[in-house]
Chain A
Amino acid sequence: MAAALRTLLDGQDIADPVMVGIYTGGVWIAQRLHQLLRLECPLGTLDISFYRDDFTRVGMNPQVRPSLLPVNIEGRHIILVDDVLNTGRTIRAALNELFDYGRPASILLAVLVERGGRELPIQADVVGTRVKVARDQHIKLHGPAPLRLSLVESARPKV
């Protein structure tokens, strides 16, 4: 993922991007990528709980953490990082939140796992691995160290 991101950044002449991880798994992946890419700008973190489109159905995340963006993102190039890309709704929420902080010049999306089940027209620029899993299965990243992926059966209803 780091090599693919470096190629993308070089190809677009992006010298000093701002990397932002989405809580929780996305932050763990972003920490590794930030280190591997030796980025100068400190890592940002985003908690999209206040931007979820299912708040009235599932309530507020009991463990909301403040979003922390280390710099003014107005006009900056952003690398948004998450662990699993499924429906696309988390990324939609993250994009909305980022734009409430300012208007970035561009946003690249990097995800560790891309799985089927998209409900919105969103795709990643850099993907660690692609897997096909049934709709009632759920991919979970355990961390922060060591990072480990697991596949769990989900009996929970679809949002």
Chain B
Amino acid sequence: MDKRNLQLDDNGQLRHFLTIEGLKRQLLIDILDAAESFSSVTEQTVKKVPLLRGKTIVNLFFEASTRTRTTFELAAKRLSADVLNININASATSKGETLLDTQRNLEAMHCDMFVVRHAVSGAAHFIARHAAAHVSVINAGDGRHAHPTQAMLDMFTIRHHKGDFHRLRVAIVGDILHSRVARSQIHALSTLGVEEIRVIGPKTLIPPEAHTLGVHVHHDLRAGLRDIDVVIMLRLQHERMLGAFLPSEHEYFQLYGLTEAKLELAKPDAIIMHPGPINRGVEIDSAVADGPQSVILNQVAHGTAVRMAIMAKAMQRLPSPPARELH
């Protein structure tokens, strides 16, 4: 099935958010703009808006992730939705119930949205393909495939610090091979029109077909960092490494760890990002992670507003023709 059609409803509006791939630039801009407004909600005494009051959102996490699940839960609650956190390991699936049965049962309980994290690529698509008409599905990370909400909060952070995307050179450093975040970031950055995307890492951690995504591949960190505006460091995905990809973490840090000395090769106002959790002394030196150019904690802060925007967009149902203005 066409992924674009699956994500959009009959009116061309976002229904599911499964991957950045195939989404139009204007839709991404709309999400970033909406997130800007949702950011101001945290400045209110009551840090909630009533937009999704009466809706029920289910966090279906088949893979452990405290931070991402918490951000989704907070985003849903700030939109006034009711939230269910399903502990899959202790749930019916471990008693033999299929994923589809679990989904059907939750839909029968009148749930309106599933936020899905799964270790298998395509799991969120599978659930979206079988979703009832009123249900939306958000991909919170599936295997090596995609992590589109993380990519959008990264784009939000870049826009917040750099403004326009067009003149930017962005470097993504580290374990590209196992990173669903990197794939989604590359799709988002190219859709938003950045001047140049570089991926930097050892040959063993960069997929051979990387160039087909329109990126420049570098194996030398120092060369790759020259004239860069944004440096995105990635976590080494030890849990997804099935073979010997690296001689040692120490050697990796020597070659690809970001230190203050290496950072001087980038533009003086370059920002440093990391989707977290960071491995200090492996991918990044503490002096850089905690330094003035680091925006890592800003990324965390932006996560809630961006997820609020995506949830709100996916839950809107436009009639045809549109109704009149409200006065």
Q: Which residue of A lies closest to B39 (CB)?
A: A66
B45 touches A101 (CB 8 A): yes
Residue B327, interface by CB 8 Å = yes
Select which of B30, B41, B315, B318 is within 8 A of A50 by beta carbon: B41
A66-B36, A156-B322 known; A86 and B327 CB under 8 Å? yes
Contact flags B302-327 to A (C-beta < 8 A → 1, else 0): 00000000001101111101111111
Query: Which residues on A sit within 8 Å (CB–CB) of B39?
Result: 66
Query: Which residues on B sit within 8 Å (CB–CB) of A56?
Result: 315-317
Residue B40, interface by CB 8 Å = yes
Interface size range on B against A: 20 to 34
Stretch at the interface among B47-55, B189-197, B210-218: B47-55
Query: Which residues on B sit within 8 Å (CB–CB) of A97?
Result: 49
Query: Which residues on B sit within 8 Å (CB–CB) of A100?
Result: 44-46, 48-49
Residue B119, interface by CB 8 Å = no
Query: Which residues on B sit within 8 Å (CB–CB) of A54?
Result: 323, 326
C-alpha spacing A60/B51, complex, angstroms: 9
B37 touches A64 (CB 8 A): yes
- How far in angstroms is the closest Cβ of chain A from B28? 13
A87 touches B326 (CB 8 A): yes
Query: Which residues on A sit within 8 Å (CB–CB) of B325?
Result: 138
B37 touches A47 (CB 8 A): yes
A55-B51, A67-B40, A100-B48 known; A84 and B33 CB under 8 Å? no
Q: Which residue of A lies closest to B53 (CB)?
A: A55
A50 touches B49 (CB 8 A): yes
A87 touches B327 (CB 8 A): yes
Contact flags A55-78 to B (C-beta < 8 A → 1, else 0): 111111011111110000010000
C-alpha spacing A71/B37, complex, angstroms: 18
A96-B50, A101-B44 known; A60 and B323 CB under 8 Å? no
Q: Which residue of B lies closest to A138 (CB)?
A: B324
A84 touches B327 (CB 8 A): yes
Interface centre among A54, A63, A66, by most B CB within 10 Å?
Answer: A66
C-alpha spacing A65/B38, complex, angstroms: 9
C-alpha spacing A133/B198, complex, angstroms: 60
B327 touches A85 (CB 8 A): yes
B323 touches A102 (CB 8 A): no
B318 touches A68 (CB 8 A): no
Select which of A57, A63, A93 is within 8 A of B317 by beta carbon: A57
C-alpha spacing A99/B315, complex, angstroms: 25
- How far in angstroms is the closest Cβ of chain B from A48? 8
C-alpha spacing A63/B26, complex, angstroms: 12
Residue B13, interface by CB 8 Å = yes
Residue B205, interface by CB 8 Å = no
A51 touches B49 (CB 8 A): yes
Residue B288, interface by CB 8 Å = no
B37 touches A58 (CB 8 A): no
Residue B127, interface by CB 8 Å = no
Query: Which residues on B sit within 8 Å (CB–CB) of A85?
Result: 327
Interface centre among B37, B51, B316, by most A CB within 10 Å?
Answer: B37
Q: Give the 6 A-B CB pairs with smallest separation, nearest first.
A: A86-B327, A59-B316, A50-B49, A100-B46, A66-B40, A156-B324
Residues of B within 8 A of A (CB): 13, 30, 33-34, 36-41, 44-46, 48-51, 312-313, 315-319, 321-327
| 21 A–B contacts, CB within 8 A, in A order | A50-B38, A50-B50, A50-B312, A51-B50, A55-B316, A57-B323, A58-B318, A58-B319, A60-B316, A67-B37, A85-B327, A89-B327, A90-B326, A97-B49, A99-B46, A101-B46, A139-B327, A154-B324, A156-B321, A156-B324, A158-B323
